[in-house]
Amino acid sequence: MNKVSIKNLIINACHGVHDYEKKEKQRFVFSVDMYTDFYFAFKTDELSETVNYSAACNVINEVATKNSFNLIEKLAYEVCNALFESQKAIKRIVLTVEKPDAPVKMEFESVSATVDLTRQTAYLSLGSSMGDKQKTLTDAISTLKKVKGVTVNKISSYIKTKPYGGVAQNDFYNCAVEIETFLSPRQLLRELNRIEAKFMRMRDKRWDDRTLDMDIIFYGKEVIVEDDLIIPHADYLNRDFVLTPLKEIAPEFIVPVKNMKIKNL
């Protein structure tokens, strides 16, 4: 992977936990490595095929000067989010924010926070078997679009399916969603659980009827086996209500472990 770097970009802004830090500007120093693929830039010599470092500087300045955060960790994440949203060519960001004038009563050079975030493509399965099912799916996707660090790229058609697992009584509506995200798998799972809770998802009985179910099926090429998180989803191969929508939006995706295209599963 290639990278475009900006070193020691100095911006005067107001960030900090103290009241005076929110009113009096101080120096913040940004250094960022933005990873991308130079091949198409090499082939075309076109700026549109790579990372625009001038535009990136403007984005960093915009976030830093138009907001006031308590923590430089928050500042770093917000800058990364804005950079990812503004330039699709960026696949990974390593960003450091330094605060040379931090209120520390000792001799020091600087304090800093560094974040390392990678954009991944993930596939989700959504289902609902209670209430206005189609509206629930639509509203849940709208809520997902508002999650910082998540971009919804594709949404499959809604399909009506029979209940699975022998517990639920109602028919389901299901769909699949392709997203890009720099959230980790566990952070993404936390956000999906938060959305489920917003739609009154209850977990009293496995495979029971539910207002909303949101599962991570694939997260890039990653394979994760933990007590409460398995990726690829442990049961996706047995679920037509998962595979059918995925074949619609991602037929060429090669799934981990099986090493087969979705359309051939």
**Residue-level pLDDT at 239:** 84
- List helix spans (H) across the chain: 39-44, 53-66, 72-86, 133-145, 185-198, 240-249
Q: Which residues contact 126 (CB under 8 A, 6 or more apart)?
A: 137, 140, 141, 174, 175, 176, 177, 212, 213, 214, 215
Residue 171: pLDDT band (50, 70, 90) is confident
Calpha distance 110→131 (Å, rounded):
55
**Residue-level pLDDT at 206:** 59
Structural domain spans, the chain: 2-118, 120-264
Report, as residue numbers or ranges, the catalytic residues. 99
Q: What is the mean pLDDT of residues 211-230?
A: 93
**Residue-level pLDDT at 168:** 61
Q: What is the mean pLDDT of residues 55-66?
A: 98
Q: What is the mean pLDDT of residues 124-139?
A: 93
Which residue did the predictor score with more confidence, 208 or 170?
A: 170
Q: Is it the case that residue 208 has pLDDT exceeding 80?
A: no
Q: Is it the case that residue 18 has pLDDT exceeding 90?
A: yes
Which residue did the predictor score with more confidence, 210 or 119?
A: 119
| Class of 2-118 in CATH | alpha beta
**Residue-level pLDDT at 205:** 54
Q: Is it the case that residue 186 has pLDDT exceeding 80?
A: yes
Please report the sign of the dihedral spanned by the C-alpha atoms of residue 164, residue 228, residue 190, residue 198.
positive
Calpha distance 76→69 (Å, rounded):
10
Residue 253: pLDDT band (50, 70, 90) is very high
Q: What is the mean pLDDT of residues 51-55?
A: 97
The pTM of this model reads: 0.87
| Chain mean pLDDT for the chain | 92
* Pick from 102-111, 124-133, 147-156, 206-215: least confident: 206-215
Domain 120-264 homologous superfamily, CATH: 7,8-Dihydro-6-hydroxymethylpterin-pyrophosphokinase HPPK (3.30.70.560)
Q: Which residues contact 22 (CB under 8 A, 6 or more apart)?
A: 14, 15, 16, 68
**Residue-level pLDDT at 211:** 85
**Residue-level pLDDT at 170:** 81
Which residue did the predictor score with more confidence, 119 or 228?
A: 119
**Do the first three CATH levels of 2-118 and 120-264 match, i.e. the same topology?**
no
For the chain, the C-alpha Rg in angstroms (whole number) is 22
- Contacts from 83-87 at CB under 8 Å and sequence distance 24+? 83/32, 83/34, 83/56, 83/59, 84/117, 84/119, 84/149, 84/151, 84/182, 85/151, 86/55, 86/56, 86/59, 87/34, 87/51, 87/52, 87/55, 87/56
Residue 86: pLDDT band (50, 70, 90) is very high
**Residue-level pLDDT at 172:** 87
Q: Is it the case that residue 252 has pLDDT exceeding 60?
A: yes
Q: Is it the case that residue 147 has pLDDT exceeding 90?
A: yes
Q: What is the mean pLDDT of residues 217-231?
A: 93
